[in-house]
Every structure is written in structure tokens, then in C-alpha cells.
Structure 1
Amino acid sequence: MQWLENRQMAGNSGPVLSAVIVTSAKNGNLRRTIAGLRNQEMRSLLEIILVTASTGRQIPRDLDTDCFFGVKVIELDPLTCRGEARLCGIRNASAPVVAFVEDHAYPDDGWGEALLGAHTGLRAAVGYQICNANPASAVSWANLFLFYGPWVEHAAPAADILLPSENISYRRDILLQYGDSLASFFENDYVLHMDLRRRGFSLYLEPAARLFHWNIDTYPAAVFYSYMNGVIFAAARSSRWRVARRLLYAGGSFLIPFIRAPRIVGDFLRTGRGKLLPGCVPALLAGLLAGACGEMTGYLLGAAKKELLGDATAGEETS
């Protein structure tokens, strides 16, 4: 089994998998995340890394973590950016494979074993099959397909495809090659995935590694999150682009809903969830429009920043 080989890679004495959870200590869903990890067959070889803002709140002490190989709690300044927090998790992990799990996402039984079995060869990253943890809400389903559409209830393994951000696993040794620059890549994994492929590594989706994701289920929060996700995505994607290219993409942002909508409809149909689509249309439209506005903002803010800096990095343009 591959996870036993990973045990040998770890020197026969360390964990085979480190689960990194960047969390707010006040998040009550964390208990359910830990419970999902506790149900893994290889839990005694699973290391838990909890990265949290030091806000005076404490990680709950009744999480029942004695079954794991070990648990580390890393407290950071509340103003630490997401990329830095995730990089901190990587650096404090001990296992050869590091799996990021959000504190509102819950691994299904067999998730860890399937994940480790898929980490072979030049696969730098392995993604999970994403399922809905709060399926009673149309807004929840809309947000699940907005942010995880291609990976929702994906029944077949898939190689060399782009993978989602946040809930994903990586080979630690490959990530450490990036040094401090990894923090900026971690603001949105899309940029990292493109760079990994450029370096000759492959990406893989393992459907047997199922993760249930709790989605935003109210309109105000959904619109805000879609907007902010668009800002972060565009800023990360275009960080090394020339000003002219940023402005071009900002001007074309109004096309984004027309590009994404058919893909999302296709994902609803692929998963057999087509009957849910009519009820999800209002939330989908709101999310698509908010996301497009966010991307426009991200491209324009980056363009303005580059203009102020004299476009000092113009020679570093990447796609």
C-alpha cells in the first residue's frame, strides 16, 4: 500500500500524512472536522496541525485527539495573511504528504488511505471528491457548484487537471522548494498548480478521497464571499502580468458569467443534480455577478499598484 511506502519515506518513525487546518478557534465546526479525521483507519499515523490566529480564544481542549500520531497548535498574529498561515502549516508538518482541510470540511471514511494511495510518481498534488455537507439549502448547492463545480461528486479518477484551492493535498518536499515565495502562491492555489505543471509535475483527482464541504447558505454572505474570492483569484493570477494585460482582463470581466454559467450547468447535469438547478438560479446569478466584479477589482488594483511602482516587474510576466 502506498501509505505504507510513505511510512518508509518518513523514516519508519514519523507520520505518513499531516492534516493542516487553518482555523478560527471560535469555529464550532472544527469538532466535526476532527471527528472525520479520527475515523481514518490510519489515524495513528496522522499528524494534525492546527494553525490559528492568536486572538485570545483557545482551541477547544475536548477535541479527543489522543488517537493521532501527534497534534501541533500554531498561533499566529491575527493579521497574518492566508498564504503565510498555510506556509506555516507546511513548515511545521512532519509527514511527506500534507493535506489541507478547511475547518468546515469533513473527511469521509477512507479519505486518508485513498489520498496516500494516489500520491505516486510525479504527482505533486492530489485533490478530493467534494460533496455537500449541508444539502438542504439551494444557496448551499449554488455555492458548492460555483466554487467546486468540476470536483463535485466526481466519480472517476482524473489526471492532469486543475484542482481546487484550500481543500487539497501536496507532497511536502516539492512545496518546500519554493521557499518563502510559497506564501504568495498559497493565496490562490490555481497559480501554484500552473507553476507545478510548468515544472513537469502532475496533478491528480482521487474520487475515493471524499470530503464533505459545509457551504455558505445565506445570500449576503454568499455575495460577499464570491466578490472577495474573485478579488483574491485575479490578484494572484495576474501578480506578474504587465499593466496592459491586467487592464485587458479587467475590461473583459463582464464576460465571466457567460463563460462560467454553461460549465456550472454542465456540472449540475454531470452529477445528476439537474433538478436542483431551477431553485439555484438566483444564487448562481448573484454569485457569478459578484465574482466577476471581484475579478475586475483584483485586476484593476493590481494594475494600479504596478503603475505606481513603475511596472518594475514587467519582465517577469507569466501566464
Structure 2
Amino acid sequence: MPDATAEPLASVVLVVQDRYQAIARTIAHLAEQTVAGRMELVVVTPAGFGDLPPDGERDRIGRVTKVELGGASLGSAQAEGVRAASGPVVVLGEDHAWPEPGYVEALAQRCKPPYAAVGPVMTNANPWSLVSWSNLLLAYGKWTDPAEGGPIDSLPGTNTAYDRSLLMALGDELDGLMEREGGLLKRLQKDGHQLYLEPKARTAHQNVSGPTSGAALRFHAGRLYADRRMKSEKWGVGKRAIYFLAAPLIPGVRAVRILGELKGKKMPMTPRVIGGVGLGVTLDGLGQMVGYGTGAGKALARLEDFEFNRYRYLSKRDRAEAGL
């Protein structure tokens, strides 16, 4: 039996909105981790959510901590999970990312000075559709399988491990930094810390695969990115206008960078997939143009719906594969 009184090697934070089934598969994978008995699972839930996980999985996990929090955004909920964690390393998990057994151990072993954050290699959990591949490549391209380990200039914000002491030192700033895409990682780098990509840590990511949903995801992601960038960098009207007018150039610039990052990757780089990436960066660029012009609008709410209710935005085949 795991010793629930011992300090965990690492704490994994999961946020759930309204149903245990949304995180059940992720928890099942966490219960199979090589260090499950030395791991803490921190689940941030709405009030009155009930007990979790099932006894069979709870018995394999060293410690389970539940944080009840009502009405918080994803970033604020994750920040509360970090504060409630007791491990020296915190991993920000997702309900639609399913880690391989050595994932937590590999991240925890590497996440120590000079590395403030350590990220995994991403694989495709639903590789049957063009939309799924396009969304994976647009969101995680440079970190997809195979990837060479070592110091790196950027990581995905979620599915990554962080030195908890450095996050706690940020105090009340933590919530805001976790709300901004890449804001937390950039702050850690600004403070002199390094990032690392650990290929021994691997997780399969389930991607939005419904065609209409995929298009909406890319548009709102671009719109929110533009709004958060303007606010974090305190842009004036003049700079906003310049970026608004230059937005049509964004797809070309992003496409060249992404395709360069994908050389040698294990994925079907067919004309259709390349075309899907091109369409995705075009929609992202359109979203950024709207964001620079009018702000985020309801982009954050739409994106959090995609995060918390991924099952609604899968293709028919993906829903069938998942038993939905």
C-alpha cells in the first residue's frame, strides 16, 4: 500500500467541470504510473462533486487531494491546484491527455535546477482524421514524436511539470500568468530559469476532430492569443493598428515555421494534412486580426468549452472509438 503520509515525488493537477467520466481515463493512466504509489493526485472540482477516484485506482495512488472551487476559469483552478499540492514538482494534466507509465517519473526526475519546467513528447491519441492531425501539429508541432531531448526555448503550458517552489514564489501573480498562453513559461525564463524537453515522458493527446469544431477552435485560439499579447505587453492603439493591418501575413510566417519543425516527425505529412495545417494557420490569423481589432470577445469561454467538453467536438469515428 502507498504511504499517504510521505511527501509525494510529484503532484498531478487535474481540473474537472461537471462529471467524473471526463477525467476517468486520465486517472486510470495515472494509476498505472511507475511511481503511482509516490504520487499525489490533486483534483480541482466544483463544490459537492463527491468522492473520487474509484477504490481500485485510489489504492494505487499515494495520495488523493480534492479542492472544491466554484466558478473559476481553467487557469485560476490550476493555480489553486498548485497551491494545494504537496509535491516538489507539479504536473498540469488534462482530461484528454493519457500519459504512458513512465511519464510522471521522467518529468519529476528532470524537473530540478536549472530546469524550472520540463515537458513531454506528444503523440496523437486519435490519429484517424485530418482535423485531429492538423490541430495536434498546430498546437504541439515541435514537441510531437519523435523529439530530441534537451534544453528548449518553449514548452506546452499543460502536460508539463513545474518546480512548485518557483510557482509559489509568484504569489498572487500565478493566476494571471496561468491564464495567459505561455505567460508562465515566459516569466520563468525571464527570471533566469531554463526549460527542458524530456523524451522519456510521453503522453497521447486527444484532439478536436470535428471539422466545424476544428475551425472554430483555431479561430478563437488566435483571437485570444492576440488579446492576451496586447494586454500583457501593454500595447497602444498605434501598435494594435499595425498588427491588425499586418495580420494577413501571419499564416505564411506560421506555416513556414511549423512545417520546418515537423521534419522527421512520425505523422502522415500528406498533401491533405499539409493543407489542413495551412487552413488552420489561416483561421488562426483571422482570429488574431479580429483580436487585435476588437479584443477577445467570448473566445476564452469557447476555448474552455473545448477543453472541458472535448467529447462533444470529436468526429463520428472518434466518438465511436471512445464509446460515446
- For the aligned pair, the TM-score class normalised by the smaller chain equals 0.7 to 0.9
Any unmatched runs of 5+ in structure 2?
298-324
User: Do the aligned residues in 2 keep the contact of 1:268 with 1:277 (CA within 8 Å)?
Assistant: no
Helix, strand or coil for the counterpart of 2:123?
A: strand
Query: Which whole-Å deviations, capped at 9, do the CAs of 1:178-205 have from their partners, x for residues lacking one?
Result: 1111111112342222221111111111
Does 2:188 match 1:196? yes
Dislocated runs of 4+, deviation >6 Å: none
Q: Which residue of 1 aligns with 2:7?
A: 14
Note the 1:201-240 alignment, pairs <5 A: 201-239=193-231, 240=233
Matches of 1:237 and 1:169, distance apart in 2: 24
Which shows bigger deviation, 56-65 or 254-263? 56-65
Does 2:245 match 1:251? yes
Matches of 1:207 and 1:61, distance apart in 2: 29
Helix, strand or coil for the counterpart of 1:162?
A: coil
User: Do the aligned residues in 2 keep the contact of 1:190 with 1:237 (CA within 8 Å)?
Assistant: no
Matches of 2:63 and 2:266, distance apart in 1: 40
User: Do the aligned residues in 1 keep the contact of 2:75 with 2:176 (CA within 8 Å)?
Assistant: yes
Matches of 1:57 and 1:224, distance apart in 2: 30
Q: 2:67 aligns with which of 48, 65, 74?
A: 74
Matches of 2:112 and 2:210, distance apart in 1: 40
Q: Which residue of 2 aligns with 1:148?
A: 140
Q: Which residue of 1 aligns with 2:301?
A: none
Note the 1:22-41 alignment, pairs <5 A: 22-26=15-19, 28-41=21-34
Specify whether residues 185 and 205 from structure 1 end up closer, same or farther in structure 2 by C-alpha distance, changes over 3 A only: same
Give the aligned residue type for 1:18.
S
Offset at 1:223? 1.4
Q: Which residue of 2 aligns with 1:308?
A: none
Give the aligned residue type for 1:288.
V
Specify whether residues 57 and 220 from structure 1 end up closer, same or farther in structure 2 by C-alpha distance, changes over 3 A only: farther
Matches of 1:200 and 1:61, distance apart in 2: 38
Does 2:53 match 1:48? no
Matches of 2:246 and 2:20, distance apart in 1: 38
Q: Which residue of 2 aligns with 1:135?
A: 127
Offset at 1:89? 0.9
Q: Which residue of 2 aligns with 1:110?
A: 102
Matches of 1:190 and 1:220, distance apart in 2: 26
Q: Which residue of 2 aligns with 1:9?
A: none
Matches of 2:50 and 2:69, distance apart in 1: 12
User: Do the aligned residues in 2 keep the contact of 1:191 with 1:236 (CA within 8 Å)?
Assistant: no
Q: 1:295 aligns with which of 280, 288, 296?
A: 288
- The number of aligned residues is 290
CA RMSD of the aligned region, Å?
2.3
Specify whether residues 272 and 266 from structure 1 end up closer, same or farther in structure 2 by C-alpha distance, changes over 3 A only: farther
Does 2:269 match 1:242? no
Give the aligned residue type for 1:165.
G
Matches of 2:216 and 2:60, distance apart in 1: 38
Which shows bigger deviation, 241-250 or 82-91? 241-250
Which shows bigger deviation, 256-265 or 198-207? 256-265
Q: Which residue of 2 aligns with 1:313?
A: none
Specify whether residues 188 and 168 from structure 1 end up closer, same or farther in structure 2 by C-alpha distance, changes over 3 A only: farther
User: Do the aligned residues in 2 keep the contact of 1:22 with 1:86 (CA within 8 Å)?
Assistant: yes
TM value normalised by structure 1? 0.83
Matches of 1:299 and 1:152, distance apart in 2: 30
Any unmatched runs of 5+ in structure 1?
1-11, 305-319
